[in-house]
Amino acid sequence: MEFFEDCIIVFMSQLLFFAGGWWFFVKQLFKNYEIRHISVQLIFSLTFALSITMFELIIFEILGVLASSSRYFHWRLGLTLLLLMVIAVIPLYIFYSIIHSITFVSEKWVRIITMSCWVAFLYGLWRIGDPFPLLSVSHGILTIEQGVSRIGVIGVTVMAVLSGFGAVNCPYQSMTYFIRPVSQIDIITLERRLSLTVDMLTNKKKRMALEVHRRNKSHQTKTGLWNMLSSAVNRVDVGGENVTQLRMEIDGLEELLRHMFLEINYLKNMQERQKWSKTLQGRYFNVIGHFFSVYCLWKILICTVNIIFDRVGKKDPVTRGFEIAVHWCGFDIDLAFWNQHISFLLVGCIVVTSIRGLLLTLTKFFYRISSSKSSNIIVLILAQIMGMYFCSSVLLMRMNMPAEYRVIITQVLGNLHFNFYHRWFDVIFLVSALSTIIVLYLSQKPTNYGDSSLQ
C-alpha cells in the first residue's frame, strides 16, 4: 500500500511537470508559430517531465520523502525512460524529420535511411567510451550504467561550456565597471562619419557604373580582333577611370560601413546599459555581479588546482565548509540536522537556476535559428540537449550532497567513474571561461574611425 501511495505522488508530480513543459512549448517556443506537430509537443513535454523528475528525486533523497525502496524504483524507472528518449526516440524522430524534408528522397527510402542514421548514431555513441574511462562490455550493453556513462560525457561537456560562459558573462553584463562610458556626442560623431562614408560609397558606385556603361556602349561599335584588344585595355583603364581600383575602394568602403554600423549599435547598447545601471534593478544586479565575479575567480582557481593535482573532493563544499566553521568557532550544534537543511537549500538553488538558465538559453537559441519549416526539428534537438543536460546533472549534483544522501543514486548508477566526470567538467569549464574572457576582452578594444580612414 505504501508503494502504491508513493507511485501516486511521483505520478501526480510528473503530470504537473508535463503540463509545465506543454505550457512552455506553447507559450514560449511556439508563440510566434502556427505550425506544430502534436508528436513533437508530446516528446518535448515528456522529456521535460522526466528531466525535472530527476531533480525531484534528489530533493526527496535529502528530505527523506517516500520509502527507500520506492525511491530506488523510481530512480531506475525515470533514468531508464529518460535514456530511452535521448538514445532511441528523439534521435530516430530527428533523423526521420530531416530525411523526410528532403524532397528528392522517395518514401520507400526514408525509413531505410533513417534506421541507417540511427544505427550510426548508436555506434558513435558507443565509441565515445574508447578515449574516456567509461564502463566496458563486461558490465553489460543494455544497462543504465552504460547509457548514463556515455550520455554523461556529452551532457557534462554542454554543462561545463554553459557554466564557463555564464560565470564570466553574468558579471560582465551586470557590473557597471564593464560598461563603456558613451556620450551622445560620440554617437552623433560616428553617425556623421557613417553618412559621409555612405556618400562616398554612392559616388564611387555611380562613377563605376558610368564607366562600365560607357565601355559597353563603345564595345557595340567595335568588332573582330579590334574588339578583343580594346576589351583587354578597357579592363584596366576606361575613360581615365581605373575600374579595378574603384572596385577595391568600394569593397573597402562597404567593409568599413559594416563595421561602423556595428559600432553605432554597440555604442547605443552601451548607452542603454548606462541608463539601466542607474535604476534600482541595475544597482541590484551590480552588487550581484560582484559576488559572481568573486565566484568566477574562485571557480577558475579551484578548477586549475583540481586539474594540476588531479584531485576531486570527497565531501560536498557545503558540508566541508560548515564543519570547518563549527570546528573553528566552537559552536555546539547538530551537524546532521543542519547539513540536511543547508543541503536542501543548496540543491534547491541549483535546481531552480539550472532549469531557469537552460530554458532561457533554449528560448534564445530557438528564436535565433528557427523558422516555420525547421522549428519542429530544432525543438527535437533542444529536447535532446535538455535530456542529456539533466541526465548529466545527476552525476555532478551527487557531489553537492552529503554522503548519506548519495547511497541510492550510487546504487542506481553502479560502477561509474564519478571522479572522471568532475575532472572533465573542470577542464571544459576552465577552457570555456578563459575563452569567454579572451573574447570579451578583444570585443572591448575601442575602434577608431578617424578621418584618415575615409580618404
Q: Residue 392 is which amino acid?
A: S
Cα 302 from Cα 308, distance rounded (Å): 10
Please, where are the H alpha helices in 175-242?
184-219, 224-234
Residue 16 has a pLDDT of 92
355 located within any domain:
no
Residue 176 has a pLDDT of 77
381 located within any domain:
yes
184 located within any domain:
no
Residue 275 has a pLDDT of 82
**Backbone phi, psi, residue 224, to 5°:** 65, -145
Q: Which of 257, 260, 261 is nearest to 249 (CA)?
A: 257
**Those residues with Cβ within 8 angstroms of residue 2's Cβ, 6 or more apart along the chain or in another chain:** 67, 70
CB atoms within 10 A of CB 350: 16
Structural domain of 52: 1-177+283-345+360-430
Q: What are the beta bridge partners of residue 238?
A: 241
CA distances from 92 to 95, 362, 370, 374 (A): 5, 21, 20, 16
**Those residues with Cβ within 8 angstroms of residue 412's Cβ, 6 or more apart along the chain or in another chain:** 72, 75, 76, 79, 144
Q: Which of 23, 28, 19, 24 is nearest to 370 (CA)?
A: 28
Cα 353 from Cα 348, distance rounded (Å): 9
C-alpha 430, offset from chain centre: 16
CA distances from 108 to 90, 91, 196 (A): 21, 20, 60
259 located within any domain:
no
416 located within any domain:
yes
113 located within any domain:
yes
Chain length of the chain: 455
Structural domain count of the chain? 1
122 located within any domain:
yes
265 located within any domain:
no
Mean pLDDT by 10 residues, the chain (455 residues): 82 90 77 68 89 83 80 86 89 86 77 88 80 62 77 83 79 76 82 87 82 72 51 47 77 84 82 81 79 79 81 58 64 56 55 60 63 71 84 74 71 75 85 86 61 43
Residue 236 has a pLDDT of 44
